[in-house]
Amino acid sequence: MTDAIHLPATASREDRGPALRGLLVAESDHDISVRVDGGTWTFDRRDVLRLTEDRASAGERQVRVDIRPGATADFTRRMRVELVDRPITLAPQPSEALGDDQLAAATRHWASTLRIAERGGVTGATFTFHDGINCDSLD
């Protein structure tokens, strides 16, 4: 029955996902920052259930971090910036719509946020071929 005993300040295996593994780059009374392949995660210390050292080598601390469900974190990515004549911007995230029905639903949601009334008999977003160039349009 030892599997039913939960020590204080620990979560059961069902209450947390797999541990985040990475390089501990900053630690304070308020935050913990862990670098992974794609960038750096920064967690509020209160959201960290457990921080265990995976291995240490040459001044680097490889760690595993268990986070409580529902935790909010910041994620920072390294990006190469090229100087050009326009302001720095990020490309928009690709649409999650993966078909005509999802695209139509996304179009209706977008139109409702702008308070654009739907017209009966019109399908909304269409795919057209105009002057030899493919384009999407709202009819």
Average pLDDT per 10 consecutive residues for the chain, totaling 139 residues:
50 64 93 93 94 79 91 88 79 72 81 75 52 51
Q: What is the pLDDT of residue 2?
A: 47
Q: Are 64 and 21 in contact (CB under 8 A)?
A: yes
Reported pTM: 0.51
Rounded to 5°, angle at Cα 61 from 59 and 65: 165
